Amino acid sequence: MPASSTAILLFSHRPAREWSNKQFVPGDYATSAQVAHTLHTHTVQTVHRSGYPVIEVDGAAQRGETFGERLTNAFADAFDAGYDRVIAVGGDCPTLHEVNWNAVHTRLGSGQPVIGPTPGGGTYLIGLHRSHFNAQALAHLPWQSPQLGAALQHHLRNAHGTVAVLTSRRDVNTVRDLVALLRQTPLPVRPLANRLRRVLGWGTPSLCTSLRWIHAPQSAVASVRGPPAAHA
């Protein structure tokens, strides 16, 4: 039996795969890979500073045909390992360090599922007690779509009553998201922002190319994302 009843489940691709799904700098694969590595490292450091055990499930360890199946299996494995509360996060929320992990732990202990929403309709955090876990229902939610957050809240409210909803936080999936993060004043994550600026070469032709994409038609911006079926 684990010493802690709560674990953080880091569910994401390794940077080597993530950059191919999210071309942060269109046409510059090397820089995109460095951006993915920088974001991933920040997330790993953040969850390990939480004080809770961390279970890292990357692409090689994920089981299932769809994103929903893979995440559901990761939750099931964590519960089977003896944890009663599992907090799942991805690798692309730059302000994850602001989460109050102890508060999430307490909410789960009181019987409330916890969701951290993103402005685009997704989630950056999903906290479940083993009593909340319904593998079939979870696997068949509209993952990787703008409808996910609402569908997940609807499912959990119907099954368990109240749901604790955290502060909405942006994730970084596109060059638009990346440059928007670096333009924020004051910077929410200065050390991370400084590392990203060095990677991008702020003010260099590489970033200028990215900025041109920011002002391109929405259809062109959307095309920088990898195929939905391959993204996790």
pLDDT in tens, 28-57: 778 888 888 899 899 999 999 999 999 999
Q: What pLDDT score was predicted for residue 191?
A: 83
192 pLDDT tier (thresholds 50, 70, 90): confident
For residue 185, the model assigns a pLDDT of: 55
The yes-or-no verdict on residue 221 having pLDDT over 90 is no
Q: Given a cut of 50, is residue 112 above it in pLDDT?
A: yes
pLDDT tens profile 46-101: 999 999 999 999 877 888 889 899 999 999 999 999 999 999 999 889 999 999 99
Mean pLDDT on 189-203 = 79
**What is residue 214's predicted lDDT score, i.e. its pLDDT?**
46
Q: Is the pLDDT of residue 16 over 70?
A: no
Maximum distance among all alpha carbons in the chain? 54
Taking only the tens place, the pLDDT of each residue in 120-178 is 999 999 999 999 999 999 999 999 899 999 999 999 999 888 999 999 999 888 888 88
Say what the pLDDT of residue 92 is: 86
pLDDT band at 217 (very low <50, low <70, confident <90, very high): very low
pTM of the entire predicted model? 0.82
Task: Give the pLDDT of residue 194.
Answer: 85
